[in-house]
A and B are shown apart, each in its own frame.
Chain A
Amino acid sequence: MNAYWTIPVLAAIAGCTDTQVPAPPANTGPTVYAVNYPLQYMARRIGGDVVDVVFPCPAGVDPADWRPDDATVEACQGADLILLNGADYARWTRAASLPPSRLVDTSASFRDDYIETERGLTHGHGPDGEHTHGRIAFTTWLDPVQAIAQASTIRDAFASRWPEHSAGFEAGFESLRADLASLDDRLGPLLAASDGPLLFAQPVYQYLARRYGLDAVSFHWEPDEMPADDQWQLVAGQPATLMIWQAQPDAAIARRLESLGITSVVFSPCANTPDDGDFLSVMEANLRNLD
């Protein structure tokens, strides 16, 4: 984690300024905001009862594309720490005014390993001439090893901010690390068991594919929208037996895939709060789906 956001002096300043910036919702203890559900889950596991972790994105919305209103940003500004996913996730944070001393980029430790998914269009304006806006894969937590690194950053930020609770944070982190490591141990063999290339209906599994060295082919299909014929031709040309979906596809899509010998399997990235269970139970369900 960047030391920028963790040094004690600004933590002290932040403490002094709680009356000058908007306060988060009713809470007397430390408050942390997270930009997606996995970070909220990790922070809760690490912080326990000490820290109140808020994930402000409403249910059913992709946190990557969600844009909060001014009141939510204002509440976020009052938090003791704001957990960012990094990798250009939650683009609203780039346009929002947030206190840098309280931002924690949880994926900064593996920033050099980000996956660039596509090059943008080259265009020119302004003083710097032509330039290109690339895109970075952002579902970093789908690689359990990266998820552990993010959790480690959260633990360090918490321990720096509230050193009196360091032991509790360490215990919470160790428990989480063990769960994520177990997930890692079981995911690899299951994914590797698939014959032929692994098809991904949405381009959000890059880190998962890299972690387990998968022969991955990504599409941009929606579960509730029948793909065009040219898309089906692309699938038909693949010697694959499995297509991974974020959510259950429509029955018609699943049937047509079955007719091509491809089974549809849901592997939820769990970016937003699940209807039932938590991050780990969703990942366990993903494992069962693959089994």
Chain B
Amino acid sequence: MAWRYVARHRFKTAILVLSLALIVFIPVGLRVLVAQSERELTARAERTPLVIGAKGSPLELVLSSLYFSLDAPQTLRFDAVDRVADTGLATPIPLSVRHRSRSDPIVATTLDYFGFRGLRIADGRLLTRLGDCVVGARVARRRGLGPGQSVISSPENVFDLAGVYPLKMRVTGVLAPTGGPDDEVIFIDVKTAWIIEGRAHGHKDLERDTLLGRDGDRLTANAAVVEHNEVTDANVGSFHFHGDQAAFPITAIVAVAPDRKSADLLMGRFEGPDERLQIVRPDLVVDTLIDTVFVVQRFVVAALAIVALATLATAALVVMLSLRLRRREIETMVRIGGARSTIGSILALEICSVVAAAVTLAAALTWLTSLFGAELVRTLITG
């Protein structure tokens, strides 16, 4: 009889179940999400001893360097890499996260990064020359990429008609899945990033095809000089860099110090009022972020507690009004011989069914959150 009643008033029951389920799920799901965020953030941060970047937001620097977020921090000069190396306290790994292929971040670095993160090639091989790229596991799966295929970097500004042409890059390998941000990006050599930025390029011999004039050592070529938009075995020799590579931009340096003492000493080298770079410990930056998240979580839970009280009061009111509306129905059950305890049990069973359904729904939602929470956190971080 309880089931019949619940089924008959399914709309009202559904609203009650949903309200109660949300009241249970939101704080529990939030806790699961925060716990996963903490795990996701701290695990990678703890494996990254130090990050160096231009002065600015430490959080932005860490999120860009560790999770390849959309918001690229200010750039620093490449000679900062040698500055770190010359201290002998850490091994610097440059990073430049400024470009995309479609929506996938292109991470420019050196081969040392692959060893540092323990990345393994699942198919193909590592980068061997300019214009090569290695694709993260999820990017490869999503875009159907493999060795021998190619990807094209997206122009920074589609309206910049005179700007740098997109570079077609050769896929030399696909990384084994790691379950982390490295699965979601395309890796290139930092020198290839400078080609994308127009700081290095290859073109045909000016003297042979397109020379308009020559004044001593100064050449004037016509507009038909076509820059290569793809590095091939045939044209790789024509690629050259403009200007001083020491001044070329990168977005961060991961400094791999062998021990805490070296890390602390290195941090001391980047202190000072005139220092234009910042050096941060990602674990501390992430701890600060997580502390903030916990504070926000406490506020949200407190607010939810008040909402929960209001919802429970409303639910109780709904039940009491419902009982009043059902007075004649209950009297009829008494007249036809129904014991008061039996009638009470039926009514209690109705309420318990609603609560059980709400708890089940909340549990299902929490389970789904635990399944997709990590990915959701990653998406939120990388934008």
Binding site for B on A (CB under 8 A): 2-10, 12-14, 16-17, 19-22, 67, 70, 73-74, 77, 91, 94-101, 119-123, 125-128, 130-133
Contacts and interface: CB of A to CB of B under 8 A. Distances in A.
Given A4-B81, A70-B129, A125-B198, A100 B112 contact: yes
Interface residues of B, number: 54
Given A4-B92, A73-B129, A126 B199 contact: yes
B82 to A, nearest CB: 6
A22 B239 CA distance: 26
A120 to B, nearest CB: 7
B189 interface: yes
B217 A127 contact: no
A91 to B, nearest CB: 7
Contacts of B198: 125-127
Contact of B115 (A4, A20, A97, A121): A20
B111 interface: yes
Q: Which 7 residue pairs are nearest across A and B when measured between Cβ atoms?
A: A4-B85, A17-B115, A9-B258, A10-B91, A97-B127, A99-B111, A126-B198
A132 B218 CA distance: 9
Interface stretch (B118-126, B135-143, B284-292): B118-126
15 contacts: A2-B86, A4-B81, A6-B88, A17-B114, A19-B120, A20-B119, A21-B111, A67-B237, A73-B128, A95-B231, A95-B236, A99-B110, A99-B115, A125-B227, A128-B243
A51 B87 CA distance: 27
Given A10-B256, A17-B115, A97-B127, A2 B91 contact: no
B118 A20 contact: yes
A53 to B, nearest CB: 21
B85 to A, nearest CB: 3
B125 A70 contact: yes
Contact of B257 (A9, A17, A132): A9
A101 B91 contact: yes
Interface string B160-200: 00001000000010000000000000000101000001110
A3 B118 CA distance: 23
Contact of A122 (B126, B130, B218): B218
B115 A22 contact: no
Given A19-B120, A77-B126, A127-B198, 10 more contacts: A3-B85, A3-B87, A74-B125, A94-B191, A95-B191, A120-B217, A121-B217, A126-B164, A127-B197, A128-B242
Interface in B67-99: 81-82, 84-92
A13 B112 contact: yes
B281 interface: no
A132 B244 CA distance: 11
B91 A7 contact: yes
A97 B128 CA distance: 5
Contacts of B84: 4
A122 B197 CA distance: 20
Given A9-B257, A122-B219, A3 B88 contact: yes
A125 B164 CA distance: 10
Nearest to B84: A4
Contacts of B87: 3
Nearest to B199: A126
A121 B111 contact: no
B306 to A, nearest CB: 52
Contacts of A12: 258
Contact of B219 (A8, A20, A96, A121): A121
Interface in B210-230: 217-219, 221, 227
B242 A97 contact: no
Contacts of A94: 191, 241
A119 B217 contact: yes
B119 A13 contact: no
Interface string B243-279: 1000000000000111000100000000000000000
Nearest to A97: B127
A123 B206 contact: yes
A98 B86 contact: no
A8 B258 contact: yes
Contacts of A119: 217
Nearest to B86: A3
B206 A133 contact: no
B120 A20 contact: yes
B240 interface: yes
Interface string B306-347: 000000000000000000000000000000000000000000
Contacts of B257: 9
